[in-house]
Structure 1
């Protein structure tokens, strides 16, 4: 299936393989991490949202000027923005 979120397409695999008796499938964009839980606001201050023109990734603030992320998340540093101190990017 293809989901439209913040003007970008995200291709996801079917979740039928993870179905367990008595446990519903993830049906909301707000619950994309299976088995995850809500956290206290701003309890992960080193987490960084990395936004590109068509992509969104996560990173970790490791210094006042450096963010660590996976290599496939960046192709050209000028095309991305890093956002810190944000709890819920959907509500922004």
Structure 2
């Protein structure tokens, strides 16, 4: 299963606005995408399109997360979603 590690860039972590932006981007993809903290097991992965799952992940600024997806264009999808996480959405 393809995976991509991303570092949370938003200063508030994956909370509120950054989580909503990421959940929206993940839900627009035609693949099931999961997210987990880098140190967590694959079994702890959550639905990346669920804002509640994202906020319960507790990922803070600088934390590394693992995105996983399977299917056509999975690598491209993971790159696009990683770019969302690696952008600071708190900049005015």
TM-score normalised per structure 2: 0.22
- Between Structure 1 and Structure 2, whose CA radius of gyration is higher? 1
**More helix per residue: 1 or 2?**
2
**More strand per residue: 1 or 2?**
1
